[in-house]
Amino acid sequence: MRIGIPTGGGDCAGLNAVIRAAVKTSVGYGWEVVGIEEAFDGLVHCRTRTLTNASVSGILHLGGTILGTTNAANPPNENRSFGSRHD
């Protein structure tokens, strides 16, 4: 299984903790985790990165979100087809 994690709509406290918990739990199940950078904008423009236990180690003290966030994208109005990008 492969799951994607976006963080959109604005920043809030605890997003990195949620990302870390989701990655560690998912990896424990053997799933692949993809971080979608800058929320829906990253989804539309295929800006993703693979997230692993190593990549989320030490992020709890960081402010914001390691994936970035935005509330500006509008996927239904994009004239682009969604494709897949493999890291």
0.85 surpassed by pTM: no
What pLDDT, on the 0 to 100 scale, is given for residue 32? 98
What's 2-72's CATH class?
Answer: alpha beta
pLDDT of residue 87: 46
- Residue owning tokens 């963080």: 7
Per-residue pLDDT 10s for the chain (87 aa) are 999 999 887 667 889 999 999 999 999 999 999 999 988 888 888 899 999 999 999 999 888 888 988 776 666 666 655 555 544
**pLDDT at res. 56:** 96
**Cα–Cα distances in Å, from 33 out to 14, 27, 28, 63?**
19, 7, 11, 21
- What residue ranges do the domains of the chain occupy? 2-72
